[in-house]
Structure 1
């Protein structure tokens, strides 16, 4: 014990003997206390990590979201990701999302609607996890696209490079 803590213990002893016992207990067991605190913190972090994994798995197997809710969620995520860091990219992304959702609002084919919503849900999932930064497009995906889609992708690439 430090000299000050011994002096404090004596002063406490005169006033209240139970406080002396408590203060000695804290001094003797402070290592144990902090070790327990660290273990609790590690356990909490592990639980949060496991919850995050469960949420990620649910996101991949979750049923389709209503298009309007998906649209709002994407715009919110753009706002969250790019508002302060790169507002020009945010503006470009917002305009692109608005245009695509307008174009697909008149589609009646259920397969096209399911494909559209699924791909935009995947996009939302990747942007919310920060995976968009290292994203690449495989040759297989490019071969599945129509000429119009490839043209749109090329225009998007040119517009993003100008920013």
Structure 2
């Protein structure tokens, strides 16, 4: 049985990586389906580039498998910015977001999948970040607690949800 080799290895084989192109589109115009969404995003991206500003915050909603995550990645690629991906259940306390938000560069995208599962305290922490580009950090607890306000770079929050009805009205109102 010489000439046979193990094919159940978890490592990628050279011929696999050479012959298998990425299944995800690399540009927005390669994205198949969601024509109205794709056109609206194309216009928004072109306008943001002309204004030299970040995109407005965007919310994608719909059943699984429609390309919400792929569209967020394509937005970042088309804008030439970085994207940080997380999900609602992972963000348990404001401190989980501080590092992400303070390390964003102008125009970067923060993609939150399952945004309908954010805890209320995280939503409230995000509001000033989304509107005023500021985060408030509590330095201590109790009656003498102090907060420090930090300015952050203007970023784009892209939320994705399969459960639009579970989003709070204040959160929905903050998307363009």
Q: TM-score, normalised by structure 2?
A: 0.26
Structure number with greater Rg is 1
Normalized per residue, which structure has more helix?
1
Taking structure 1 as the reference length, the TM-score comes to 0.28
Relative contact order (alpha carbons < 8 A, sep ≥ 6): 1 or 2 greater? 2
